[in-house]
Amino acid sequence: MGFNPSPSGQAYTVEAVEDELSQGTIAQLRFRLSKDKGDLTVRPPSANALETVESVAGRTGERGFVSRADREVVALALDLKDSGLDPVIVSDDYAVQNLAEHLKLGYGALANFGIVHRFQWVMYCPACHRRYKPPAKKCSVCGTVLKRKVLSKTKIDRQTESKNRLGGLSMIRQTPSSRLRPGSLEHSHPAFPLARRFLNSLFQRSCGRAWRRVIHSKGA
């Protein structure tokens, strides 16, 4: 299970993703095999792209909720887009998907339906109600552990987004769930949320989280 780089389209990722893979696991072996065959390219993002991602992560409240590997993958997608390619970030992480939405990058999921809204978050103290910016963890006044809540959300235009994403995802194998859109089957049948949780659990046991953070790209 997981993402299989397709010979019909180039896949990219960053070194930090490889570093997170456990030694001797199937995920690591598949990663190295794909890299050795030339189906997967590992390259660093530019400093400018990383700076842009850091800025957007801070503005949206995602800073502190995305790892270094996550930020580098999104930054690499920005570089690929600037070079004229049509990158699609493959990730089940909602924070990564939210960053991609704010940066107008394509993305797709393997084990969930993807986000429905574009979010902006804020950290707040549940005791004294002061607001903070990530990555703050505790209230500087009363010492209470901070919580996160939605500051604003915007409905995603699925008609436009689906054209962009499905075009890039058409060459990705084993992603039937990524073609189901929130607000359709998921909400029309009570069994879908339960089935989705079961599939998520099964998927996460069989494939490391880091291996799913790759970028699939078509030509411009």
Q: Can you spell out the DSSP letters for 52-119?
A: HHHHHHHHHT-TTSS-HHHHHHHHHHHHHHHTT-EEEEE---HHHHHHHHHTT-EEE-SSS---SEEE
Pick from 10, 129, 154: nearest CA to 76: 10
Of 195, 179, 186, 206, the residue nearest 108 (C-alpha): 179
Domain segments of the chain: what residues? 10-116+157-218, 117-155
Q: What is the pTM (predicted TM-score) of this model?
A: 0.69
Give tens-digit pLDDT for 4-59. 555 556 889 999 988 888 888 888 888 888 888 888 899 999 999 999 999 999 99
Q: What is the pLDDT of residues 153-207, one digit of tens each?
A: 888 875 544 444 444 432 222 223 333 333 333 333 444 445 555 555 554 544 4
Tell which CATH classification among 3.90.1560.10, 3.40.50.1100, 3.40.50.1010, 3.40.140.10 matches the domain 10-116+157-218.
Answer: 3.40.50.1010
Would you place residue 134 in the very low, low, confident or very high pLDDT band (cuts 50, 70, 90)? confident
Q: What value does the mean pLDDT take over residues 55-64?
A: 90
- Residue 79 has phi, psi (to 5 degrees) of -60, -45
pLDDT tens-digit map of 80-97: 999 999 899 988 899 999
Please answer whether residues 220 and 84 qualify as being in contact, where contact means their C-beta atoms are separated by less than 8 angstroms. Answer: yes
